[in-house]
Structure 1
Amino acid sequence: MRLLKSSAPEARHAQSAHDAETRVRMALQRNRSSLAGLDELLREHYTINSDRDILAAVRNGDWVLVTDSSAATARARCKSAASTPAPSRARTTAR
């Protein structure tokens, strides 16, 4: 799991805010070190002082959560769309 700024290019693969908030809350309670990116974001946003502030940033969409599974799903969708041939268009001839 990785926390990112919502403006990061990878953020398009983010979990929903509701799911992210739940997962981040659990990680903060159990194993903070499982949240990659947390230290960097805290350094950049020195006004965030508590877990409550972190959760609010996730809930508001300022920070997003990207997991390996969400990124893999997005990559699979892109590959699938790229490998699907475009529909052929029947040529009509003018008479």
Structure 2
Amino acid sequence: MTPDFQKQLQGYGLTTATILYRMPDHPRLLQTFVWQEYDVAPRFPILNKFLEFWQASLDGPVHSVTVAHAKLIKATEYRAVDGVFAIH
């Protein structure tokens, strides 16, 4: 069993954060950084730890963060179509 699958069984979901930050040399320009890790909604402790690291260690100040989160292990629906069961 992989560590990522173990995290999913413990309630973690795939979290993607799109971070807009200001360029240190040109503060009027915004740059995009995409971060992805397994984390727990709604508190997002791993993402918050990363953002704390960013603020303490990197020069580009964060402008905004957009977060998407999905649990990958969930119930699924099967339906018979023409006598064949398929996932829908």
Q: Higher RCO, 1 or 2 (CA under 8 Å, sep at least 6)?
A: 1
TM-score by length of 1: 0.23
TM-score by length of 2: 0.25
Query: Over alpha carbons, which structure has the higher Rg?
Result: 1
Higher percent of residues as helix = 1
